[in-house]
Amino acid sequence: MRSALLKLRSGASVVAAVCIAAAACTSGTSPDQVSNGIQVTNPDSLLASRLAFTPEPTGPMHALQVSALDSNGNVAPSFTGTVTLSVISDSGPFGGTTAVAAVAGIATFSNLLFVQAGYVRFIASSTGLPPDTSATFLVTPSSVTTLVFTVQPTNTAANAVIAPSVRVCAMDGFVNVDSTFAGVVFVDLGNDPGSSVLIGTNIRRAVSGCATFSDLSMDKASSGYTLRARAPLALSTSIQFNIGP
């Protein structure tokens, strides 16, 4: 059986697939040309050309994957760019890690957080590729009867992290921590006398019934601030605290 050496043009970054005559070509890509029994795959067809949700989200998920596909609809393993998620949603605040670098052509989002029920569509985007919009799906997060600030916010200085960390727990009907609750808790400003900005990660998933907010701070000094904690069907307000200069 004859063999042939294909010389790539200068600067080519992808090795072309070569199929010898009488042998099965298993590259799965469209041929660029067939000459003298040699089938050559165009290297450019192996590069990422679009994004796709794989599979489409259908409801609350532990992980969501977005793949970079080549022109033949196969995953492009050379793609390692950053994929960013945004949402079209009526399900309230959205959080978690929303920008992930792809590994072998696939970006995996493992901690997406929603505060309340609602219909959602994701939009995946990455520099140089057209964005992809997912199918619409329904978020139905866990519900909780009562939220309690078990560690209240304390007086602190502007732009300093509130310590100890603010902690919010779900309570059952007997005011015991409901350790089965693993839903999402969202914290924002209630009373805001200084027109401050709440800085830090303000949306967390509860672990054993409690969500801990370890990096909250505020940028303007004033007295009488409060925080509000929200989860599906539940709302709680903290005690008042002050932010000094």
What distances in angstroms separate CA 71 from CA 18, 34, 66, 129, one per listed residue?
18, 19, 16, 12
The whole-number pLDDT of residue 31 equals 44
The whole-number pLDDT of residue 11 equals 36
CATH 3.40.50.720 fits 50-139, yes or no: no
- Burial label for 192, CB within 10 Å (0-12, 13-18, 19+), is middle
The whole-number pLDDT of residue 35 equals 45
Q: Give the CATH number of domain 146-244.
A: 2.60.40.10
- CA–CA separation, 237 vs 1, rounded Å? 79
The whole-number pLDDT of residue 52 equals 96
Per DSSP, the three-state class of 214 is coil
* Intervals of CATH 2.60.40.10 along the chain: 50-139, 146-244
Q: Where are the alpha helices (DSSP H) in the chain?
A: none
What DSSP character marks residue 55?
S
The whole-number pLDDT of residue 114 equals 77
Positions of the chain with pLDDT under 70: 1-45, 59-62, 91-92, 115-116, 141-143, 173-174
The whole-number pLDDT of residue 149 equals 97
Query: Which residues lie closer than 8 Å to 245 by C-beta, 6 or more apart?
Result: 157, 158, 221
pLDDT digits (tens, 9 = 90+) for 96-129: 889 999 999 999 998 787 766 788 899 999 999 9
- CA–CA separation, 110 vs 30, rounded Å? 34
CB of 97 within 8 A of CB of 201?
Answer: no
